[in-house]
Structure formats: C-alpha cells, structure tokens
Amino acid sequence: MVTLLIISIILFVSYIGYTVGMYGIPASISDTYYRLGKRGWLFTLFCLAESSLLIASFIEASKEEYQFLAFIASASLAFVGSAPLFKEDYNRNIHYVSAGICALASLVWQVLMSFWYVPLITFLGGVIVLACLKFRKPVFWMEMCAFISTYITLLLLY
C-alpha cells in the first residue's frame, strides 16, 4: 500500500505543479477545473485517481475503529471531482459539502489516530505562508495544508 501512497503523492505534486506552473496559484484546487478550460476533465480525473489511490493506504493505516473516516474522506474526494462545476448552482452544494466532509473526516482521523500535532504544525506553517503572501489565496493554501498533513500522517504510520 505504500506504493499507492507514493504514487498518490507524485500525482498530487505533478498536478499542482503543472496547474500552478501553467496558470499561477489558483483561488482553490477546485478552481483549476476552470483554469484548465477544455481540459477541465483533468481535475475530475485527478480527484478520482487521488481518491482511488488513497483509500487503500488510508484504510490499511487506520485503526479498525477509525477506518470509516478514511473511507468517508476518500469517497468525499471522489464526489468533489464528480461535481467540478462549483460555480454552477446544480453542482455547488455537492462540491462544497463533499470538500468540507473530506477535510473534516481527514482532520478528525488524524486527531483520533494520535497525530493531532501534524495538522497543527502544518496549518501553523500555512498561516505563516499566508502572512508572507499577505493572505492571498487562503483557500488554496489551507487545502494544500490539509493534503500535506494527511500525507505526512500516512507516511509516519508506514
């Protein structure tokens, strides 16, 4: 399962690196859907691939009583990618609620797995980055912190 986790990290870095390199820092990771234009389907593919790659590692690394949070976080990420048009009324609620559930389930999972300090340190680092950037694009940087803290926790568990 470590291999799937490593592939997930490589995919994450590649996707974020590509979109930021081509279009600059977006308002949010989801905003890359619109920035990619006709290739917006890459955002959906990214979310579905990340969800699929992470779920096995997430569940295997989890204590049995917290595996449901790993499933919920991963499944919610798939819903985010399946409803990429967050600026449109018919996708907005699905997208935002799924993103919120994904972040919350992942954060609660980290705390219950006794790695509460990882998101704490990561988010404090994110606040420092935001302060240096004069608080521009806060959603993007907090999303980055959420992914990074989850990856760090999973790596520490393996």
Q: What is the CA radius of gyration of the chain?
A: 15
Q: What is the pLDDT of residues 4-37, one digit of tens each?
A: 999 999 999 999 999 999 999 999 999 999 999 9
- CA 158 – CA 153 distance, rounded (Å): 9
Cβ neighbour number for residue 83 with a 10 Å cutoff: 22
Residue 38, amino acid: K
- CA 15 – CA 28 distance, rounded (Å): 13
Cβ neighbour number for residue 87 with a 10 Å cutoff: 12
Q: What is the pLDDT of residues 37-68, one digit of tens each?
A: 999 999 999 999 999 999 999 999 999 999 99
Q: What is the pLDDT of residues 88-145, one digit of tens each?
A: 998 999 999 999 999 999 999 999 999 999 999 999 998 888 888 787 899 999 999 9
- CA 80 – CA 92 distance, rounded (Å): 10
- CA 72 – CA 93 distance, rounded (Å): 17
